[in-house]
Amino acid sequence: MDSQTKTEDCLGWAARDPSGALSPYKFSRRPLGSDDVSLKITHCGVCYADVIWSRNKNGDSMYPLVPGHEIAGVVKEVGSNVCRFKVGDPVGVGTYVNSCRDCEYCNDGVEVHCVKGSVFTFNGIDEDGTVTKGGYSSYIVVHERYCFRIPSNYPLASAAPLLCAGITVYAPMMRHNMNHSGKSLGVIGLGGLGHMAVKFGKAFGLHVTVFSTSISKKEEALNLLGADKFVVSSDQEQMKGLSKSLDFIVDTASGNHPFDPYMSLLKISGVYVLVGFPSEVKFSPASLNMGMRTVSGSITGGTKVTQEMIDFCAAHNIYPQIEVIPIQYANEALERLIKRDVKYRFVIDIENTLK
């Protein structure tokens, strides 16, 4: 059944100005189109992107702003042309909700790189000209192409962080063939993204070394996440001992840090993938040229690889480490996220706390 009515029946939490303070907000979603899925949101992960745009860090925030792009929920209504989903299905929505669907990248299932620009799940301009509003809300309407099947045996709270943190590390790992058992992987940073890189690395049969500036993360890296080795990156002796020992490095750190010391840890033809956003990337050409090394950047992933990742996690019992919180704790959660005081992803219980 297609709906053409438009009422302010969606309850969310929104920031009204660059202070980023979130509070209850009522608004309307676009009417359900023939190719759309309307889903009741049960859970939404808390990503650093929520901090960036709620506080206008990029200077392009459009208020009122409802953040959240790690969305899990249940289908409550589908358009007349929808065939992939039915009412009651568990579904996920990630960092984008639309694209041109006609360029070479959309045709290849990597819509996040759409030539005309993918439409962000929040703070983007939707096809009807309205500003998109994210998952800190009761429901959302999305074209079925940008919805993902969540296996019925996979918890929705755990599924939410896969839609950004999970896919951001999974996509480049697959693109650079990091799923070959017996190879060695280095993971820089142990936050929401880094801990997922460790989990994927172990599932792929890799020997995983975690690099962190904080010795306090050692026990969890080794015992909770199953990493094989932990190195304090400021310890020059430990770093030198790993010279030319790694096949791959996934760098999730967004703070500024030197690159040459890590590049020296790669074997000949090793691959360094950057998924964080430091203010600059600087390394000696010799670090790259002398070892035939590859440096690659990446953001999230297309619809094809995202669905593949969700299915992989369900098949191999891979779950993010999460702290489930009520929506009323969202402002404190964002402050804690800035201080890196979370192990390792906040997930908002929308269904039970957004009233």
Q: How far is CA 282 from the centre of its chain?
A: 25
Q: Which is it for strands 229-232 and 207-212: parallel, antiparallel or unpaired? A: parallel
Task: Please tell me what DSSP assigns to residue 70.
Answer: -
C-alpha distances in Å from residue 257, one per residue of 260, 295, 296: 10, 16, 17
Residue 3 above 50 pLDDT? no
**SS3 call for 98:** strand
Does 9-164+320-349 match 166-297 in CATH topology?
A: no
For residue 30, pLDDT beyond 50 = yes
Show me where the domains of the chain are located.
9-164+320-349, 166-297
Give the DSSP letter of residue 217: G
Mean pLDDT score of the chain, rounded to an integer? 94
User: What pLDDT, on a 0 to 100 scale, did the predictor assign at position 2?
Assistant: 43
Q: What are the pLDDT digits (tens) for 186-244? A: 999 999 999 999 999 999 999 999 999 888 889 999 999 999 999 998 888 899 999 99
Per residue in 251-305, pLDDT (tens digit) is: 999 888 999 999 999 999 999 999 998 888 989 999 989 999 999 999 999 999 9
The predicted structure's pLDDT at residue 7: 67
What pLDDT shows up at residue 1? 40
Which two tokens mark 202? 């172990």
* Residue 182 phi, psi (nearest 5): 95, -15
Tens-digit pLDDT profile for residues 157-179 = 999 999 999 999 999 999 999 99
- The tens digit of pLDDT for each residue in 61-100 reads 999 999 999 999 999 999 999 999 999 999 999 999 999 9
What pLDDT is recorded for position 343? Answer: 87
User: Tell me, which fold does domain 166-297 have in CATH?
Assistant: Rossmann fold (3.40.50)
Q: Is the pLDDT of residue 33 over 60?
A: yes
pLDDT tens profile 332-342: 999 999 988 88
Helix axis angle for 165-175 and 303-315, nearest 10°, is 100
3-class DSSP state of 259: coil
User: Which of 2-6, 108-112, 243-247, 311-315 is the least confident region?
Assistant: 2-6
Predicted pLDDT at 340: 87
Which has the higher per-residue pLDDT, 318 or 280?
A: 318
Q: Residue 92: which residues within 8 A CB-CB, separation 6 or more?
A: 71, 72, 73, 147, 148, 150, 159, 160, 162, 163, 310
State the pTM of this model.
Answer: 0.93
3-class DSSP assignment, residue 274:
strand
Residue 209 sits at φ, ψ, to 5 deg, of -115, 125
Lowest mean pLDDT among 5-14, 77-86, 313-322: 5-14
pLDDT (0 to 100) of residue 6: 57
Quick one: pLDDT at residue 76?
A: 97
Superfamily of domain 9-164+320-349: Medium-chain alcohol dehydrogenases, catalytic domain (3.90.180.10)
For residue 151, pLDDT over 70 is answered with yes
